[in-house]
Structure 1
Amino acid sequence: MKSKSIEPKGAGDKLLGFIVVSLIWVGIALYLGWTAHVPNTESGCSSGTFSCLTANEWGDFLAGVFAPVAFAGLVVTIWIQSDELRAQREEIAQTREVLKEQAQHAEEQTKILLNEWRETKEEKNKINFNLLVSKLRALSREQAPHIVAVTAKGQFEVFPSIKNSNLSDERYLPILANASSQRLPQILQANACNLMNADDFVQIYRFAYNAEELIGTMSHVDRLVAQTLKLDQLISNMEKLIPLDPQLDQLQGHVEARRRRLEREKSAVLAV
């Protein structure tokens, strides 16, 4: 939106009026000066009043004629400048309003772009989350029977096999998390173990870890849905086995990073 330039009202008319009045005044003064005195023939001055004036008289005459003109010019100048200042103030006020509207428009556009960016990012994170969950589900279904903890008290499946292969992610993962909780006590009693197919265990943990990290970056509705998958329970169960097998030392950094992240999230919730 562009502000309209405000011109002083009547500046040209005031100037023209001043010139006209000044010319009339000078004309009247000249006429009065010519007719005010009768030429004195005795002094040899017979060609008119002005020819009889001395230098001092000419100065007095011109001062008397042009002093009012100068004063009137000063008044008109101040009058015009006052109008110009008033016009400038009005223009500044209009400019301020335009800048205010532009700032509001820019703020609204920024909010729209920010919301679009946030929605795009949330949608992208949701896609990545679902991809990780699908990989987690597929790998755990395939390798669960082969990930076995060998302890002094026997061998135990870390992830029990789930016979129903038609379960969706929303139903399969909570069952997997609950089932893994049932096997933990027997494994933990040994205080040490040796995992068969430890690489698959590591991969499953990383899928779950990366998926859980994305939950906080998704929309509120998607977060609520993601929380029903019980990834936190599954990861916590797996983390209890990490200290028991040296093959899993590579995950210690993940465990510490997750602990710090959960503490930050808890502090943020308490702050609210």
Structure 2
Amino acid sequence: MGTNNALIRFIHGTDWRIWLGIIITLLWIVGGGWYVLQVSETAPTQNFSLAAVGSFLEGAFAPLAFLWLVLGLFIQQRELANNTEAVRRTSEQSEKQTQAIAATEMNARQETYFKIAENVKHQLGGISGMLLVSSIGPVGSGRINREQMDDYFAQAARGDDSVFARMFISTDFPDEGGLEEMLYGTEIRTKHSRNYMRAFEKLRRLARNCDVDRIIEDTLMQGAFGLLYERMVTYDPKSTNAASSTEGQ
């Protein structure tokens, strides 16, 4: 049973051109044999010398040699085409694997970003809270008393990390001298603002490196933390002085 299956697979796996060549060769040999028999019967006294036999065999098998040469060329072309197709499929598979690896790496980066972003946003919320205390809280102008400030910190502890950032971007605080005074009016406020910007810039770089379309970065910049960062950059005395020096030159 196994031998029969192997024979069937061999027959189906063999190129049809080979079978065509075998059939033509067998028919040609049978026809040649029949021709020799006919000549022997019609001319029994004819002398077949070695030279005559050699010439006959040369003429008889020359077409077969040419036939197998042509068939060999066609078979070789088919093998080359199959090899080319195999190389193409291998290349496509390699490209898909490369894309899958890149996608997996990007997903890993994004997962890492979101884990880090959660902690960094807690940090940004704490810094902006301390900055608010120093500017309009009990330590600052006193617009927000201690009880209200405790409520805001409790809200931040419940997961609303951007509560203080939203307060900064909700108004320009003209009574306190404007947003520039609130962010950089004292040494401690300047320190808080610079710490905030450094932490946010690190988070922004992470967002940029894990999303080629920059959707995550755009979302970050358009949120409360990003808008507060832009205001800090706008009112930063270092940036203002640098711009003034450039204009003066």
TM exceeding 0.5: yes
For 1:192-236, what per-residue CA distance to the aligned partner results, in whole angstroms no more than 9, with x for missing partners?
955236433321221233334444445877556534533343123
| Equivalent position to 1:83, from 71, 81, 85 | 71
Superposed, 1:113-128 pairs within 5 Å as 113-128=101-116
Distance in 1 between the 2:228 and 2:164 partners?
12
| Equivalent position to 1:177, from 164, 169, 180 | 169
Superposed, 1:1-272 pairs within 5 Å as 6=15, 9-10=18-19, 11=21, 35-36=45-46, 61-142=49-130, 144-146=132-134, 163=149, 164-165=152-153, 166-167=155-156, 168-179=160-171, 181-182=172-173, 185-186=177-178, 194-196=186-188, 198-216=190-208, 217-218=210-211, 222=216, 226-243=220-237
* RMSD, matched Cα: 4.2
Question: Could you state the TM-score of these two structures normalised by the residue count of structure 2?
Answer: 0.61
Identify the structure with the greater strand proportion: 1
Distance in 1 between the 2:197 and 2:214 partners?
25
Task: List runs of 5+ in structure 1 lacking aligned partners.
Answer: 37-49, 51-57, 149-154, 244-248, 257-272
Query: Looking at CA atoms only, which structure, 1 or 2, has the larger radius of gyration?
Result: 1
Identify the structure with the greater helix proportion: 2
CA contact (8 A) 1:136 1:204 kept: yes
- Give the counterpart letter for 2:225 in structure 1: L
Residue range with higher mean Cα deviation, 84-93 or 13-22: 13-22
Cα distance, 1:160–1:9 mapped onto 2, change above 3 Å:
farther
Provide the secondary structure at the position in 2 that maps to 1:132.
helix
Identity %: 12
Aligned pairs, number: 212
Distance in 1 between the 2:99 and 2:111 partners?
18
Question: Could you state the TM-score of these two structures normalised by the residue count of structure 1?
Answer: 0.57
CA contact (8 A) 1:208 1:235 kept: yes
Distance in 1 between the 2:128 and 2:140 partners?
16
Cα distance, 1:232–1:6 mapped onto 2, change above 3 Å:
same
- Give the counterpart letter for 1:9 in structure 2: I
For 1:145-184, what per-residue CA distance to the aligned partner results, in whole angstroms no more than 9, with x for missing partners?
2469xxxxxx966x978722214024443223335x3257
- Give the counterpart letter for 2:173 in structure 1: Q
Task: List runs of 5+ in structure 2 lacking aligned partners.
Answer: 1-12, 244-249
